[in-house]
Amino acid sequence: MSNFVAAADIRRLFSSAMSKMYQQEVPLYSDLIQLVNDVNANVLATDEAVKAQLIATGELARLDIERHGAIRLGLPEELATMRRLFSVMGMYPVGYYDLAPAGVPVHSTAFRAIDAESLNVSPFRVFTSLLRLELIDNQELREKAEAVLYQRHIFTPRVLELIAQFERDGGLNQQDAEEFVSEALETFRWHDRSPVSKALYEDLHRQHRLIADVVAFQGPHINHLTPRTLDIDAVQVGMSQRGITPKAVVEGPPRRKCPIFLRQTSFKALEEAVKFSCENGEEEGTHTARFGEIEQRGVALTAKGREMYDRMLNVAREKTGGAPTEANAAQYMKNLAESFVDFPDDYRALYDEGLAYFYYQPNLAVAAQKLASFSINDITSDNINTLIDAGIVKLEPIVYEDFLPVSAAGIFQSNLGEGGQGHYDSQSNQAIFENSLGAKVLEINEIYQKIQNDSLVSCLSELRKLHH
């Protein structure tokens, strides 16, 4: 019966519409994409191994599409509806990130596809933060902020109808899907008119820039989009050469032969003209929030790998005297490289030590030669390492599709300017977040573990079929 459009296809449509909109709104972002394309083309032309790996994991075709964007919401109700909106596109909340310890008064999740096949159709994710109004210490200001937020409607009436229709029928046909995409896009659009006065904007801004960014606007404008690069250090250098101002340091692990987790950098947010409301019309002002980011992803680490990562990252930060700044950027990058020297930089070692997740894939050429020397009873998961040693099974890294809280805080901070709050002493509260969301977030590691397990099952069954 179903002439429903696949969720992944709606997501792909949406991400490409969003990219077009953002490039029009922020032309500097177009320049960044151009730079990333040039760098990627150069890597593909010169690095055979990287190219072969992208082909083996099905990622070459999706290299050119944006990997993520980010929004900041004001109210629990907005987050709950956003969850329903994203589920139309097969995007589910994965992970809980508390940014308060790093001085950003939000907690967050990432909406994304969760299976490998769907990710290959469209890897687009949205890092979604919810403002923690309770962290505004001035009660009067907190109440004003809340009152302003309760007056806005960030979703169009039509998108709400289409979400309800999707939930009732289980899908959307082509025409409705296209309408959904264009209606949903409205929520993420920039508004250069603010419903609040310049004076209130400034009060909010003094509390925290981020509070002004959320409360003073009609909707949660997309604040950045992020393409994927195959060489982030080349992009970092290239930005300066093309007159794009980069943030001080690349967040995440240092450069390595076998990339792990996620490295990110961005260009600094632009100052944009805004018209604030006042009794006799409008008052001119500016707001700084929107930027462009680049990411380079590596293999997803297990809990054990993450622990090692956190430990080594902390050593580098402590040695630098805290979070990196413009002034100590070079020293920080040096400390980072030094503190990670003992993190194995070889895929087989990462696998053997249980530090990272991998796909198991049959190596057909080797299997054709060697499989006959194995009994069918040897083609089991207990025996997997023997099959790997024989070259019959190969390992391919599973790319990390999530975020890193320390890196995210670094991206936030560098786009909020200096002079932000040091940190908030507050309880990290996943339960409150999930209550606002109206659902539990999915556990990051469970997803990679399942992808790895599924690949093992299908690899073994393929080999058994080949065995005669």
Applying CB under 6 A, the residues found at the interface with ligand OOG are 70, 72, 127, 129, 223, 264, 293, 403, 407-408, 411-412, 415
Q: Are strands 393-397 and 358-362 parallel, antiparallel or unpaired?
A: antiparallel
The one of ligand OOG, Ni ion, none whose footprint includes residue 408, by CB under 5 to 8 A per kind, is: ligand OOG
CB of 331 to Ni ion, least distance (A): 25
8 Å CB contact between 453 and 358: no
The one of ligand OOG, Ni ion, none whose footprint includes residue 223, by CB under 5 to 8 A per kind, is: ligand OOG
Number of chain positions touching Ni ion (CB under 5 A): 3
CB of 72 to ligand OOG, least distance (A): 5
Cβ-closest residue to Ni ion? 293
8 Å CB contact between 51 and 192: no
Q: Does 293 bind Ni ion (CB under 5 A)?
A: yes
Stretch that binds Ni ion, among 202-210, 223-231, 383-391, 424-432 (CB under 5 A): 223-231
What is the end-to-end Cα distance of the chain in Å, rounded? 41
Instruction: Indicate the SS3 state at residue 155.
Output: coil
8 Å CB contact between 414 and 56: no
CB of 112 to Ni ion, least distance (A): 12
Stretch that binds Ni ion, among 69-77, 105-113, 129-137, 247-255 (CB under 5 A): 69-77
Of 12 and 228, CB closest to ligand OOG: 228
The one of Ni ion, ligand OOG, none whose footprint includes residue 401, by CB under 5 to 8 A per kind, is: none
CB of 447 to Ni ion, least distance (A): 19
Q: Are strands 262-278 and 224-226 parallel, antiparallel or unpaired?
A: unpaired
8 Å CB contact between 103 and 420: yes
Of 220 and 238, CB closest to ligand OOG: 220
Instruction: Indicate the SS3 state at residue 65.
Output: coil
Taking the C-alpha atoms of residue 316 and residue 311, their distance in angstroms, rounded to an integer, is 9
Rounded alpha-carbon distances, angstroms, from residue 377 to 87, 388, 454: 43, 16, 20
CB of 223 to ligand OOG, least distance (A): 5
CB of 453 to ligand OOG, least distance (A): 28
Residue 355 exposed, middle or buried by CB count within 10 Å (0-12, 13-18, 19+): buried
CB of 253 to Ni ion, least distance (A): 16
The one of Ni ion, ligand OOG, none whose footprint includes residue 72, by CB under 5 to 8 A per kind, is: ligand OOG
Both tokens assigned to 106: 């939000």
| Among the listed residues 444, 426, 441, 439, the one whose alpha carbon sits nearest the alpha carbon of residue 131 | 426
Residue numbers of the site for Ni ion (CB under 5 A)? 70, 226, 293
